[in-house]
Amino acid sequence: MTSSASFESYFYIIRDIISAMHALTNLEDVLDVVVTKCTKVLNAKGALLRIFNKETNLFEVRAAAGLNERYLRKGPLTTEKILSARSKPPTIEIITDIWNSPRLEYPQQTWDEGIRMLLDVPLAVDEHVMGLLRIYLPEQREVSDDELDFIKTIAMQCACVIDRVGLMENQQTRFQYLATQVEKGSSLGRMAAGIAHEINNPLAGILLYSSNLSKKVPKGGPLEEGLKIIIKETQRCKTIIQGLLDFAREQEPQRFPANVNDIMNSAIGIAENEFHLRQVRIQKELAQDMPETLLDKNQIEQVFINILLNALHAVDDGGHVTVRSALGEGQKKVRVEISDNGCGIAPEHMDKIFEPFFSTKANGTGLGLAVSYGIVHNHKGNIRVVSEPGSGARFIIEFPILSDESGGEDER
């Protein structure tokens, strides 16, 4: 074969292989093209392609061409066996001594198959070997530079596609895990709502009867003290159950034009007494002329109260909480920030604070921020937190500025 004819043959085969790789409908199809075309262009007796399995730590056969079925049934090989002469960076190994090569597990069978020379081509990305292409030649001969360049090009392309498929499979596994977790969470939410409804009625009865009894027992006696504890703990249970119901309800917001400053002032008015008792100062820095946007006032007020109370519990007596409002992102969003000078949030807790039932407070239910997160995202908004331990925390809430027309279009 002339140099020109050889180059043309290599070009067309590389084109076919790369086309199959980019199509990537099935990895096995791509690998079949690789072994078949390599066998043909190199006038080889056959080719075998193995891919490293991380779970078994073995190189397993994934594609073959031109080899006897009896030869293929020998199974996977260990990393030590197949890469006994590993080099960095991985290079092509030319095996001419079939009887004494440490890489060959079955030299007699290899000789009986009429194989006199082998090329071991590592499939590697960034020196990480993920597979091996072995080419079986019927005679010992010199391997030209053109042939080596061809083999290296195919190996590089093949390694890239194997790596890409591995990433895709990892993403698919991760997606399936997350989908399962979401389904479990949804089932738990429905179950929690059902249990909460069932428990709510007997709790209401306990609270009613214990309240009535507390009015009839002697003042200052042990019965009155015991009934007060029952009433207090029953009310605590009802608070937890109400949080469960709010979390599981997924109520659609009833949005009407509203000003976040007005909602914030209303939320501060509700929580003001708690702040006064703890001697914690609220500093307001609300921007003037804030535009209205479509919000469910009751739900957003609940979000603001939850975060205000969290800030209150994070600061020591005499601390302060700052509330700000402003326009953000080219005046397309309204932004509210609630910050405190409290203890801050530990780095290991940052990814968990919006998870249901996660709380660092001794008596916390872990539902306040989870419910708030759901409400904000149902408004197509965003909520995030910035914090360093000992430097307080800053919650940032953003809502898109929507008119009645854009809101309706968005809903459609």
Lowest mean per-residue pLDDT among 97-101, 319-323, 365-369: 365-369
- In terms of C-beta density within 10 A (0-12 exposed, 13-18 middle, 19 or more buried), how is residue 407 classed? middle
Q: What is the pLDDT of residue 118?
A: 92
Residue 102 neighbours by CB distance under 10 Å: 11
CATH of 180-249, one of 1.10.3470, 3.40.50, 3.10.129, 1.10.287: 1.10.287
- Domain 256-411, CATH class in plain words: alpha beta
pLDDT 10s digits, 337-360: 999 988 888 888 888 788 766 676
pLDDT 10s digits, 237-258: 777 776 666 655 556 678 889 9
Calpha distance 359→365 (Å, rounded): 7
Cα angle for residues 364, 376, 186 (degrees, 5° grid): 65
- In terms of C-beta density within 10 A (0-12 exposed, 13-18 middle, 19 or more buried), how is residue 265 classed? middle
Is 187:47 a contact under the CB 8 Å cutoff?
A: no
Is 60:72 a contact under the CB 8 Å cutoff?
A: no
What is the identity of the amino acid at 271?
Answer: A
Rg (CA), the chain: 35
Dihedrals phi, psi of 40, to nearest 5 degrees: -70, -50
Spell 228-240 as b/e; 16+ CB within 10 A means b: eebbeebeeebeb
Is 312:278 a contact under the CB 8 Å cutoff?
A: yes
Calpha distance 411→404 (Å, rounded): 10
Domain-by-domain residue ranges, the chain? 3-172, 180-249, 256-411
Calpha distance 293→38 (Å, rounded): 64
Q: How confident is the model at residue 399 (pLDDT cuts 50, 70, 90)?
A: very high
Q: What is the pTM of this model?
A: 0.45
CATH number of 3-172: 3.30.450.40
Calpha distance 358→367 (Å, rounded): 7
324: left (phi over 0), alpha (psi -120 to 50) or beta: beta
Q: What mean pLDDT comes out for the span 76-83?
A: 50
Cis preceding linkage at 89, omega within 30: yes
Residue linked to tokens 């008015």: 269
